[in-house]
Amino acid sequence: MKKVRVLHVSTAHQPHDPRVVFKQCQTLTGSYDVFCALPHADAAVALNIHFIRLPYYRRVIWRVLITCPFILVRCLWLRPQLVHVYVPEFIPFAYVFRFFGAQVIYEVQENLYKKMHLKLVNKGYLLEKAFRWFDQLARRHFYLLFTEHGYLDTYTQLANPYAVIYNYPLLSFLEPFRTPYQPSKDQPSFFYIGWLSFERAFDTLVESLVRLKTTYPNFVVHLFGRRTFTDANLENLPHFAHIQNNLRFYGYKDQRIALPFAAGATAGLALLKPIGDYPDSYTTKLFEYMALGLPVITSDFPLYRDVVDRHNCGFCVSPYDSTQVADALMYLIEHPDEALAMGKRGRKAVEQVYNWTSEAEKLLNFYKLILR
């Protein structure tokens, strides 16, 4: 029997994005004929997905003028029965697919109503007005999918059914990178993957590491992710020069390149300040560290405490208090047996609750509902 054809579209995501490619698209390949249009898409990334390579532009205006029309020219002939859209700039173009009979899902991965002011690019009065208008159109005519339940405080009075599908880890993807917990006390290391910004408490982390260095001068922090700050911003941080040789900046990398550096780490770091939609949103790396068997150090948001304190798998600290952060780092170095137990409890929690299996079922049911 011929499978129903579905198309996933993003002008911004990476070709090896864990959620888009390895979780959602691969989950759907068993039941659907899946096409995925992404910038610099590479067919070697995943099997059973038909990738469509798009150009990449950092600024939204070029995505709207060049990439989005290119997607129409390249993909309309596919005549997909469902189009899954990940970026707001493609909303008006999705109506063309709708005109030809396709259903449309608009996935909300960040609450831009709370976060727009944090953007360094792709911001401004006209862009914000356009986003609000397109977003309201999507609420009226498309099916919405949310990565966090907290977004429902903003997204009310939706015309069509919606789903909340958390970005929990895919254990089969992470399992090859899980190693026995064997941190070094002489040269402790810490692991971070995600955006690097002062909103994500990097300044507080630096201050805490200065404190840590007085006791453990040979520590290393592996940092994977794009930086929103410049070298000049770093140099202006008090005492940054004192610990800069302990930091390893790798930039954005495919997770399969980054995750091996978690081996031997004392803990995974996931600090965020209570800015924008952060307090309402799970940080995916929290669950990924737990899945790897690492104790976690994260922010003291009630949402995060409900996970970390309940399962006793790490520390929730103030993202503004470097002393708290340093104390947590030092405790885990000096109590490896308790740190090991924390990592085991976190891993067990992911196996039982916070994993992609339940979310995959919700995704498949949502597709069935829409295409019924």
pLDDT reading at 27 higher than 70: yes
pLDDT reading at 356 higher than 80: yes
Residues 108 and 241 in one domain: no
Amino acid at 271: L
From the CA atom positions of the chain, what is the Rg in Å?
Answer: 21
Residues 344 and 257 in one domain: yes
Residues 159 and 14 in one domain: yes
Q: How far apart are CA 321 and CA 290, in angstroms?
A: 23
pLDDT reading at 116 higher than 90: no
Mean pLDDT of the region 341-369: 97
Give yes or no for a contact between 314 and 344, defined as CB atoms under 8 angstroms apart. Answer: no
Residues 134 and 280 in one domain: no
pLDDT for residue 320: 97
Mean pLDDT of the region 95-104: 96
pLDDT for residue 119: 64
Give the rounded percent of residues in the chain with a pLDDT score beyond 70. Answer: 98
Residues 55 and 155 in one domain: yes
Which structural domain range is residue 91 located in? 4-168+355-371
- Longest CA–CA span in the chain (Å) reads 66
Is the pTM higher than 0.85?
yes
Residues 326 and 261 in one domain: yes
Average pLDDT, the chain: 93
Residue 275 is part of a domain; what is its CATH number? 3.40.50.2000
Give yes or no for a contact between 272 and 200, defined as CB atoms under 8 angstroms apart. Answer: yes
CB atoms within 10 A of CB 96: 15
For residue range 255-270, what is the model confidence (pLDDT) as tens digits? 999 999 999 999 999 9
Q: How confident is the model at residue 113 (pLDDT cuts 50, 70, 90)?
A: confident
Mean pLDDT of the region 8-25: 94
Mean pLDDT of the region 246-251: 96
pLDDT reading at 44 higher than 90: no
199: which 2 tokens?
Answer: 């909103």
Q: How far apart are CA 192 and CA 131, in angstroms?
A: 31
Mean pLDDT of the region 70-99: 96
Give yes or no for a contact between 77 and 1, defined as CB atoms under 8 angstroms apart. Answer: no
Residues 271 and 164 in one domain: no
**DSSP code for 249:** E
Mean pLDDT of the region 281-293: 95
The residue length of the chain stands at 372
The domain total for the chain is 2
Residues 27 and 147 in one domain: yes
Residues 164 and 303 in one domain: no
pLDDT for residue 118: 64
Q: How far apart are CA 366 and CA 359, in angstroms?
A: 10
Q: Is 205 exposed, middle or buried (0-12, 13-18, 19+ CB in 10 A)?
A: buried
Amino acid at 268: G
Residues 195 and 315 in one domain: yes
What are the start-end ranges of the H helices in the chain? 26-28, 60-62, 68-75, 91-99, 112-115, 125-141, 171-174, 202-213, 231-235, 240-243, 255-258, 284-291, 302-311, 322-334, 336-352, 356-371
Residues 34 and 59 in one domain: yes
Give the rounded percent of residues in the chain with a pLDDT score beyond 90. Answer: 84
Residues 75 and 205 in one domain: no
